[in-house]
Structure 1
Amino acid sequence: MRFAILFVLPFTVAACDLPEPSETLISDQSRVSPAYRAGFDDGCHSGRQAAGSIFDDFRKDQTRFNSDRDYAQGWSDAFRQCETQEEAVQRRVRSAATIDAINQSRGNQFDRVLSGIDYSGLENL
């Protein structure tokens, strides 16, 4: 469990000061409209939240989504991409916590097996 906490802590601190998703996930070279970027930002936050992120919230301007093709496309593209990325992060955190719990329980089983056994005579071997 300690490993999982140490693994998650840097993400927790960093999440407070992250740039908008379009600034990091859309290349500076790509020529996308401001509407696509806005949709991408909203969709990415929504996708992360849907996958379990506690740092993101659902964002979707439904009126704009229905009337602005670029906003809708950016939102949809980002939702799928960011949801998948967040699910991968969540799986890694769960895996790290599971591995840590298994390692801790193995140590405890070994200690239980040796409890009550006098092995002080083995120290001179």
Structure 2
Amino acid sequence: MQRCMVFGVLILAGCQTTHEQLMQQGYPPAFADGYQDGCGSGRDAAGSISGTFTKNVPRYLSDKLYSSGWDDGFRQCQAALANQDRQDLHDKVLNDRDRDWQRDIDNGKARAFHPR
């Protein structure tokens, strides 16, 4: 539930950085730091070309809030980018089908109105 709320807040917040949004919502600084690092890393793992894989390993191993934030950020941002990629592909397939359907309709009309 908390993860869904974090993700919803991030979507609605607009121009603030992820870190600022989380801090404004009352999350501890260590969680916000981890979430920001994990989110960039999750997008990178999902195929983003940003090259922002970041993980403070000593802090991840010793700071539960940072590691929890990193894990949440990684999973949520990786999933969000992967879902967006799937939606973009789905939209392209639909657009291609619509284009092909319209071409078939236009060809049928042309044959009907201009018999050989």
Q: Fold conserved (TM > 0.5)? A: yes
**Matched letter for residue 79 of structure 1:** F
Aligned length: 101
Q: What are the superposed Cα offsets for residues 9-43 of structure 1, whole Å, 9 maximum, x if unpaired?
A: xxxxxxxxx6432334x2623241x2221111000
Structure number with greater Rg is 1
Q: Which has the higher helix share?
A: 2
Identity score, percent: 31
Q: Does residue 119 of structure 1 match 2:101?
A: no
In the TM superposition, structure 1's runs of 4+ consecutive aligned residues that sit over 3 Å from their partners are 111-115
C-alpha distance 111-57 of structure 1, shift in aligned 2 (>3 A): same
* Matched residue, 1:9: none
Query: How far off is 1:108 after superposition?
Result: 2.3
What stretches of structure 1 of length at least 5 have no aligned partner? 1-17
What is the RMSD of the two structures over their aligned residues, measured on CA atoms? 2.6
Q: Does residue 94 of structure 1 match 2:89?
A: yes
Q: TM-score, normalised by structure 1?
A: 0.64
**Matched letter for residue 37 of structure 1:** A
Measured in 2, the distance between the counterparts of 1:54 and 1:101 equals 26
What stretches of structure 2 of length at least 5 have no aligned partner? 1-14
Q: Does residue 80 of structure 1 match 2:41?
A: no
Higher relative contact order (CA 8 A, sep 6+): 1
